[in-house]
């Protein structure tokens, strides 16, 4: 322990954030003693939320709710200035320090909820849905319709019908452009297919990319959630349509 300010002691313990910075844990006497037992206060002086704000904003009621849930589950409180704290006594100081450190770690990990992390899970989510719910349509991953041109790739190919379905997962501008170019190429080469685009989130795709994609593709799902909700029914209708044509 080292006195940071009169009466405020900084704890130097081997609890580190991922970048090697030590957890900010301070010990002081409580300002208003509620009972004679709890006269010590562990606090971070707002440093945890300050660090969290480098990568994650608590800018919605939902996120604040999650924060309060994490704090409550870990016996921690938050004051009006964003300082996390835990009141304790000498007898329980060690376990309180461990609980406090654990709570700080969980709050700090809220940055894992941010969009970029969710964004990186898009293709995992798409794969899981297709393998679990569309297996009967015999999906083939990473299909190349043009044997001599491997740069034109389809994320999932469904060959259970006369006119196969080509599915493209799109979660970025570059993926949107690639899907657009691929569809145009296949159309120019007179490849028989019907294209399906599954967007991670239509609202974050640049308008121009979205327009181009809409112009060349046959069916678009505006979000992964929409595909999960309606994808199976779409495939059923497409199969019935094909049977009807035959």
Partner 1 sequence: MRQNLDFHENFSIGLIYHALDGRKIHLLRMNGNHGETVENPLRPSPHFGYHIHKITPEEIADGAYYEPKFSQLTNKYESFDQVIYYFLKYVNIVDYSSYFKNTDQLSIFD
182, with CB counted inside 10 A (0-12, 13-18, 19+), is buried
Nearer to partner 1, 116 or 124 (CB): 116
Sketch the per residue contact string, 20 through 39, with partner 1: x for CB under 8 A, - otherwise: xxx-x---------------
Contacts with 129 (C-beta within 8 Å, 6 or more apart), sequence order: 224, 227, 228, 231
Spatial distance between the Cα atoms of 63 and 161, rounded to a whole number of angstroms: 45
Strands 219-221 and 8-10: unpaired
Among 93, 140, 204, 214, binds partner 1 (CB under 8 A): 204
The region of 12-20, 71-79, 126-134, 153-161 touching partner 1 under the rule CB under 8 A is 12-20
Q: Is 203 in the site for partner 1 (CB under 8 A)?
A: no
Q: How far is the CB of 167 from partner 1 (least distance, A)?
A: 20
The radius of gyration computed from the CA coordinates of the chain, to the nearest angstrom, equals 27
Contacts with 65 (C-beta within 8 Å, 6 or more apart), sequence order: none
The region of 108-116, 135-143, 148-156, 160-168 touching partner 1 under the rule CB under 8 A is 108-116
Nearer to partner 1, 126 or 165 (CB): 126
Spatial distance between the Cα atoms of 197 and 179, rounded to a whole number of angstroms: 8
Q: Is 121 in the site for partner 1 (CB under 8 A)?
A: no
Q: Is 100 in the site for partner 1 (CB under 8 A)?
A: no
Nearer to partner 1, 47 or 198 (CB): 47
Q: How far is the CB of 19 from partner 1 (least distance, A)?
A: 4
- Alpha carbon of 220 to those of 57, 139, 230: distances in Å? 31, 18, 11
Spatial distance between the Cα atoms of 209 and 81, rounded to a whole number of angstroms: 43
- The site for partner 1 (CB under 8 A) is made up of 4-5, 10, 12, 14, 16-22, 24, 45-47, 50-51, 53-55, 81, 83, 111, 115-116, 119-120, 171-174, 204
């Amino acid at each position: 322990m080292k006195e940071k300010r009169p009466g405020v002691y900084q704890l130097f313990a081997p609890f580190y954030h991922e970048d090697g910075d030590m957890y900010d844990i301070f010990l002081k006497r409580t300002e208003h003693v509620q009972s004679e037992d709890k006269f010590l206060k562990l606090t971070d002086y707002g440093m945890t939320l300050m660090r969290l704000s480098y990568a994650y904003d608590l800018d919605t009621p939902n996120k604040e709710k999650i924060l309060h849930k994490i704090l409550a589950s870990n016996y921690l409180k938050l004051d009006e200035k964003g300082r996390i704290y835990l009141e304790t006594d000498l007898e329980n100081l060690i376990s309180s320090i461990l609980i406090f450190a654990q709570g700080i770690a969980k709050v700090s990990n809220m940055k894992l909820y941010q969009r970029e992390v969710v964004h990186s899970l898009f293709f995992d989510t798409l794969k899981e849905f297709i393998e679990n719910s569309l297996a009967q349509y015999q999906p083939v991953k990473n299909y190349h319709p043009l044997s001599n041109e491997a740069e034109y790739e389809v994320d999932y190919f469904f060959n259970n019908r006369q006119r196969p379905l080509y599915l493209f997962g799109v979660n970025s501008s570059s993926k949107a452009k690639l899907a657009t170019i691929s569809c145009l190429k296949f159309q120019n080469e007179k490849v028989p297919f019907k294209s399906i685009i599954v967007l991670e989130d239509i609202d974050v795709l640049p308008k121009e990319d979205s327009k181009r994609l809409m112009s060349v593709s046959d069916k678009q799902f505006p979000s992964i959630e929409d595909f999960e909700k309606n994808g199976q029914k779409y495939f059923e209708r497409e199969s019935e349509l094909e049977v009807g044509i035959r």
